Every structure is written in structure tokens, then in C-alpha cells.
Amino acid sequence: MSGFSGVDRRNVMTGMAAMLAISSPLRAQRRGGKAIIIGAGAAGLSCARHIKQAGMDVVVLEAQDRIGGRLKTSHTWQDMPVELGASWIHGLQGNPAVELVQASGLNLLPTDYDNTQVYSEFEGILEGGALNRLEEMERRLLRFAENAPGGNLESDCRSRPRGSLKKRLVRLMRLESPSVSKRRRGLFLLNTEVEHEFGADFEELSRCFWAEGNDQYGGDAIVTGGLDRLMMNLAEGLDIRLSQAVQRIEHSQTGVIVSTQSGSESADVVVVTIPLGVLQGGGVEFSPALPSSKDTAIQSLGSGLLNKCILRFDESAWPEAPEIFNRVADERGAWTEFLNLSSYGQGPALMAFNAGSYARYLEQYTDEETVAEAVHALRGMFGANFPDPISAQVTRWAQDPNALGSYSYPSEDTRWDTRIRLLEPVDQRLFFAGEATSTHAPGTLHGAILSGRAAANAVVER
């Protein structure tokens, strides 16, 4: 989310290759029959709309009492909608999410990752030589990303699909240096540039993760006005049944039967858009069981975690201009990034991000304890007189039984074809969609949307 040297991190670090294009629009072919879509998130609603346009009957079953999935707009503050899940559109050129945002009357405000102010717990605002040293380390990390495996996925990742980046990054970022300040800077950059991107500690990532690309360009933008409006537009006219947690999916040559606590529903096909973490946890029973290749694909990805703590104040007690405040601290991964919502015209509020193991650690804290930790960090940045917030909102995506994480990431067990195997249908009756199945934009809103459209194509053309 930060970018000290003006480089668009997502495009550089994850825009190097696309494993499979899934952005084709729904074909003109029409057919009858019935489909059940499990999950009313971006993937599920996109899939349902396109299948319905092809002439099939569609029922959407959603476990929660709301639509949106891991896109969740809070209206706790009535005058200020807050995104507790997805906030950004990544890549504004040719991005279907941009069209949907604009059609919903929402605002796209570009993020300038260079408009950042960096604080050190020990040195105050980083300027001059201290900032130059940090930027040089960042350039080293980006050069490593550019030269990492991924130019040819089949040759690079088939020949050496396993292996953590730990040893190479420890050496690259001087994490074994006797200099404490170098180690702090290295861990800070890995946290803000890598771990926030994937929702996982860098030690857990596959060396081939650099090859997971996002081939959308044009910079990033934050969405204001409430992304739930986009979801409501996608849901219009669909048969959506809330509070219907799916317990069992039976599939055979004759069709499918989907069972919830309320009963069962039969159809010709089913599209599963359940989050990866829930699939990994065995929250849904499949009968017959999924093929071993499918189950292996599910277990070979990681379910990452990026949590937010949004703090609201009477007035801004920080500089107005910077869009992002970063913090280099002694405790690894602790409160390293704050988004200045007032710079986007949303009022005096800050949105803090924590990822990976530190985010999981924080989930054991109460809201009050979490806010106290955030304020302690802010007082180290802006002074002891920094005020307490008047209100706060805290996410715990790993504890949400309908998510069990924020988005997928490539773990040490991920192979070049893992996501392809995850999206492959079973017997042309059981289909899969969602950001985890996206081979060119995992972890993004538009990746989920495109995966839903791809699944709709597969259903209609089966």
C-alpha cells in the first residue's frame, strides 16, 4: 500500500504474468435448466446475473444475513460509510469493477503511493539520508521481484515449484545484519510491500508467488460512497436467499442437490463461490467427495489475513496532505500503515492495516485493547498529546465463520497449476468461482467478478 519510490507496487510485483485469461464476456448461447449459486459475494452475484441472462433459472444461497461476502460496507457511522473488506480497485484500465463502480454512482479516488510520510519509533520522521537508505532497500526488493521466477510459468514453476522465499529475502533485506536499524527497515519493507499484499508472513510464501500477476494497469483507486451499492446493483432481480448456510452438496450425472438447515434445493448445476478458508475448514460436505486433485488444490493455497482498525476523531490531529502514514517499529509487523481517510474527503479518520501472524495475534484482543494499541503507535508518531478517537471499528476476518480469512495467497505447496485445478468443474455439474480461482488477479474485487463470469460461461457451454 505504500510506495516510497513512486513505483506502482502491485503492477511491478504481481503484474509480470497471467496464468490464464478468464475475462471473456458471456457468449450469446442460451440454454434452459437451473443453477444454484452458493455465495452472494462479487463472484456469486456476477455469475448469477450472467447465467440468468443466458436463460437459465438461478437461485443464490447465502449463509449470511447480507450480500457482499468479503466486501462489507459498515454504516455504523451514518454520515461515513466504511469498507471493512475490499476498499481498492487495482488497475483502472479495462477493469470491469470500474464500470460497476461508476454505474453505481460511487467515487473512484486514485491513490498516490508516493504521497507517504514515514515515521520511525526511534528517529521521528524519516528524511534525508535515513529516508534515502529506506528507498534504496525498497529498490533492491523491487529489482528482486522483477527478476524472480514468473516470466515463463511452465518452465520456472514446474521445475522448482516448492520453496519458501525466506532464505533469499533474509539475505536480500539484511535481516541477519548486526545493525538493528537495518533489520528494522528490512522487516518493515517486507511487511508493507509483501505481507500486506498477500495477507501472510513472507516466510509462508512460495518463491513462485511473484508470478501471480494482475494484468490490469492504470494505477489504483479507493472507492468512497459505499461498495454495498455496487453489490445491490448486481443483486437486482436475482432470487437470493439469505441466512442459508449450505451443509451438503450432492452431485451426480442427473444433477445436484444442495442442502441447508432449511431444506434442500435441486438443480442441474451448482457454482461454489465459498471462500477458500471455509472450503479448507470442511464447512461443506461434498457427496461424493471431491476428487483428490481438487482437494489438493484447495489445501495447497493459503488463506491470508489483512485486518483493519478504523479510528474516527473530532478533528485531524495529523498532517492533512499525506495519504499514507508508515511506521518503522521494533515489533515486527505492528501498526506499520495508516491510510489518511481525511485526504480522500471522508472526514477525520485513519484506517490502520495489520497482516499475517501479527493480525492473527491481534484478533485475541478486544476492540478496546486493539484501539489502545493503535493509539499508542500513533502517539509515538505524532506526539504524546495525540487524542483518543471518538469511535472505532475493528475487523477480525479470521474469526468470521463465513470467511476464515481475507483472501488467498500462494503458499509453499502452491504449484503453477493449483488455481487452474481449483476452478476446474467436476463432472460438468459442480463448478467453482471466487478470487482464489482467479489465475491473473487473485485477492482482488475484479478477480472475483471475472471468475464469476468465467464460471457462468462454463455453465452455459457445458
Instruction: Report whether pLDDT(262) > 70.
Output: yes
Q: For 380-399, what is each residue's pLDDT tens digit?
A: 999 999 999 999 999 999 99
Query: In the chain, what are the domain boundaries?
Result: 34-71+228-302+409-460
Q: Classify domain 34-71+228-302+409-460 at the CATH class level.
A: alpha beta
pLDDT at position 166 is: 86
Q: Give the predicted TM-score (pTM) of the model.
A: 0.91
DSSP 394-430: E--GGG-TTTSSSEEEEBTT--TTHHHHHHS-BTTTE
For the CA atoms of the chain, what is the radius of gyration?
Answer: 22
pLDDT at position 54 is: 96
Return the H-helix or E-strand segment holding 248: strand 246-252
pLDDT at position 149 is: 58
Contact 154, 148 (CB under 8 A): no
- Of 78-87, 181-190, 251-260, 410-419, the range with the lowest mean pLDDT is 410-419
Instruction: Report whether pLDDT(156) > 80.
Output: no
Sign, Cα dihedral of 201, 20, 415, 286: positive
**pLDDT confidence band for 209 (50 / 70 / 90):** low
- The beta strands (E) that lie in 305-459 are given as 306-312, 324-328, 337-340, 349-355, 391-394, 407-410, 430-432
pLDDT at position 439 is: 87
- Cα–Cα distance list, 16 to 140, 153, 209, 411, 444 (Å): 17, 10, 11, 18, 16
Average pLDDT, the chain: 89
Section 285-302 average pLDDT: 97
Instruction: Report whether pLDDT(14) > 80.
Output: no
Q: For 312-344, what is each residue's pLDDT tens digit?
A: 999 999 999 999 999 999 999 999 999 999 999
pLDDT at position 7 is: 35
pLDDT at position 163 is: 52
Q: For 97-109, what is each residue's pLDDT tens digit?
A: 999 999 999 999 9
Q: Which residues contact 369 (CB under 8 A, 6 or more apart)?
A: none
Q: For 399-436, what is each residue's pLDDT tens digit?
A: 999 999 999 999 988 888 999 999 999 999 999 999 99
**pLDDT confidence band for 6 (50 / 70 / 90):** very low
